[in-house]
Amino acid sequence: MKNIQVIDGAENAVYDIFAATEEEFSLIFREGEDVAFIDEVLARARGQELDDAFCRIWSRRISKRHAMGIHGMLFYDLEYKKQYYPTRRDEEAVNSNGSLLR
């Protein structure tokens, strides 16, 4: 299983972590990527297969204190953050001027 942290733009967001199987994870994240934006995921969606995967994933919330790492971050309603993740890899995040964050 891989853990996905959901980062939501809602004012009351709590950034929950959910467990996904390898297959479910690969529906959301492209090979080698660990950052995804929901609009891009839906644009390349496989219809019902993705809907079913999300139903299963949402049923597997993990308490943060029990999570053994975060393997991916899924952003909702935060399109402006795309500029900071041009490669869709967290370790390669950049500032707005293009310089590396880390």
Mean pLDDT for the chain overall = 96
pLDDT of residue 102 exceeding 90, the answer is: no
Amino acid 46: pLDDT: 79
pLDDT digits (tens, 9 = 90+) for 12-25: 999 999 999 999 99
Total count of domains within the chain? 1
Examine residue 71 and state whether it is found in any structural domain, yes or no: yes
Predicted pLDDT of residue 45: 79
Please give the residue range of the domain that contains residue 56. 2-90
Domain-located, residue 95: no
- Examine residue 86 and state whether it is found in any structural domain, yes or no: yes
What's the whole-model pTM score?
Answer: 0.94
Task: Count Cα neighbours of 71 within 13 Å in the Cβ-side half-sphere.
Answer: 19
Residue 27: pLDDT above 90?
yes
Q: What is the mean pLDDT of residues 66-82?
A: 96
